Structures are given as C-alpha cells and as structure tokens.
C-alpha cells in the first residue's frame, strides 16, 4: 500500500530514537496499532486535542504523540548527517521498506530501519544462515557450503555479523560474488567500526541493516530483535549449530517456530548438536543434504496484531 510523505515522516517521528525528545518513542506494537486506527500523516497538523479525537487517545497519550511529532527539524538534521555517511533512514511505511518484514512480523515489525548499502537487496528473499559462535568444523563446513549454494542459485545470504557461523557464511557468499545482507545486534555506526564491514559496504558488496539507533550498544534483547529480521528477510533460515535450550541461536529459532515468522531448517547431518535435534522435534525442517534448502515451502501465516495501544 502506498503512503504519503506525511505518513512516512510521521512514522519516523513517532518511533524516533535518533534525537532526544521529551517523550518516550512508540514501541513497534504501539505504532502498528495506531496505524490500524489512523493514518499517522493525518496527525501532523493537529494539536493534542485533535490528535486525541482522530486516534482515540487519552489526553496524556495525545500530548505524547504531539511532542514526538514536534521533533521534525532535529530529526531532519540527524537524517541528513547520517545520509552524508552513507546511511539511509527508512520508515516502515516507505515504499522501499521490505514487504516481507511487514507481512511476516506484523506488530513485531520494526517501525524503521537504518541501512548502509544497496536498499534493493532487502527486497530479495534469500537464505538466512545462523549458528552458535563456537560451532565445530562440521557445522562451519555446512555454513560455508550452504552460503555458496545460495549464491549459485541467485539468493542473497542473510546473517547476523557475529563470529563463527555468521561470519563464515557471509565470507563464503562474498568470496563467491554473492549478495550479502548483514543484521548486527548493535547500532549501525558501531557495526561499521569493523574495518572489513566498512570496506565491504563501501565497495557495494554488503548491505547492513539495523532496527536500532545508530550508536545502540549490544544487548540480549537487541540480539533477539536482530534474529527476527534475519528470519523475516529470508525465504528460509538455516540453523547450522544450536545449543539445547540455551543461547541466542536457540532462542531465535524457537521464537520463529513458535510465532511462525518464517520457515526454519536445521542441519541434521554430520556434527549436528543436541539443540539441532531438539529444534527438529519442535517442528523445524531436518536437513541432511544442503540441496533440500532449495525446496522448502516458504509459506507462513503472519502472527495476529494486538489490539490494545498504550
């Protein structure tokens, strides 16, 4: 659905985490419930009373919305500063926003993204590759060969920039001349301090995307948010190595299975860990030959939208 410039601008302001404002920015859930009620672009020219009437908000919540919308000038300056450094701020209501994120994540979809690298790559569903940081040689071989397989079939490789499986898969895809999308668990400016990441983005070989403020530090919750993006941007995500009932790889795969974000395939070949088999028992697709990844049914049912706003 096409949205007006006012709508996309209001979306950025209501969820703004780039400049300081004397009001708490909306969470993803709050934002999407508001969008279900009213086009946020219609709120820009109204005072708090008008916003309360249009959106069905209390006086306090309408004042919060008005305060967030009043930060337009400050946000514009910050947006220009980021653009000068090659970073694009994209609203979830922007026509270029990857539709799979909205379709698959529903109310958990991030209201904005910061992107460094080719934006169009985000619209090309590919192979997600994830796994434990301490994966063994068999798992790393599966990660490397699955990424090469994806490149041969014209699929992007999507992963999380973490050491171990993520970096091995991404390096394999880059070496093969493939399209690679990296989703860090911290802010884009922090991720770009890695000289290899910075070089690859500058050379047009890597697209890095984040739903967090540019300087946001790593947090466990941020890692889970990163996992959602990897799964939702991919036609299927391949879990190469997972510990049983512990760690970020396990948690991300379990969440995707439970909330039906995207298909989850799990390595069941040589060196498969106990966590891999536990995920298969939970409904993940067992993979013993990497070519099986090419035939996974990518249909998923989007999670329901929560109704309450504040």
pLDDT digit string (tens) for 109-135? Answer: 999 999 999 999 999 999 999 999 889
CATH 3.40.50.450 segments of the chain:
116-295
pTM of the model: 0.91
Output the pLDDT for position 308. Answer: 45
The CB density around residue 35, as the number of other CB atoms within 10 Å, is 20
Q: How confident is the model at residue 221 (pLDDT cuts 50, 70, 90)?
A: confident
Output the pLDDT for position 310. Answer: 42
Output the pLDDT for position 307. Answer: 44
Domain 116-295, CATH among 3.40.50.450, 3.40.50.2000, 3.30.70.3170, 3.40.190.80: 3.40.50.450
In the predicted structure, residue 306 carries a pLDDT above the cut 50: no
Output the pLDDT for position 1. Answer: 57
In the predicted structure, residue 261 carries a pLDDT above the cut 50: yes
């Amino acid at each position: 659905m096409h949205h007006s410039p006012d709508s996309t601008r209001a979306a950025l302001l209501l969820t703004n985490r780039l400049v300081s404002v004397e009001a708490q920015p909306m969470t993803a859930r709050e934002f999407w419930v508001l969008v279900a009620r009213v086009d946020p672009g219609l709120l820009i020219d109204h005072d708090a009373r008008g916003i309360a009437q249009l959106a069905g908000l209390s006086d306090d919540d309408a004042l919060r919305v008005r305060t967030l919308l009043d930060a337009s000038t400050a946000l514009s300056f910050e947006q220009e500063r980021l653009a000068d450094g090659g970073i694009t701020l994209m609203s979830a209501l922007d026509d270029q926003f990857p539709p799979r994120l909205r379709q698959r994540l529903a109310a958990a979809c991030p209201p904005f993204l910061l992107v460094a690298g080719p934006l169009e790559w985000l619209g090309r569903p590919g192979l997600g590759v994830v796994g434990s940081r301490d994966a063994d040689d068999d798992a790393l071989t599966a990660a490397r060969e699955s990424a090469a397989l994806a490149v041969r079939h014209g699929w992007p490789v999507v992963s999380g920039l973490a050491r171990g499986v993520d970096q091995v898969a991404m390096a394999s895809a880059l070496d093969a001349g493939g399209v690679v999308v990296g989703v860090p668990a911290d802010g884009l400016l922090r991720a770009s301090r890695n000289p290899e990441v910075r070089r690859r983005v500058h050379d047009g070989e890597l697209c890095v995307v984040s739903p967090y403020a540019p300087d946001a530090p790593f947090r466990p919750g941020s890692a889970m948010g990163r996992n959602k993006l990897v799964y939702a941007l991919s036609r299927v995500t391949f879990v190469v190595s997972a510990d049983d009932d512990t760690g970020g790889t396990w948690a991300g795969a379990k969440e995707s299975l439970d909330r039906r974000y995207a298909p989850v395939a799990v390595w069941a070949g040589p060196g498969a860990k106990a966590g891999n088999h536990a995920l298969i028992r939970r409904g993940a697709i067992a993979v013993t030959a990497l070519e099986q990844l090419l035939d996974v049914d990518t249909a998923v049912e989007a999670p329901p939208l929560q109704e309450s706003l504040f």
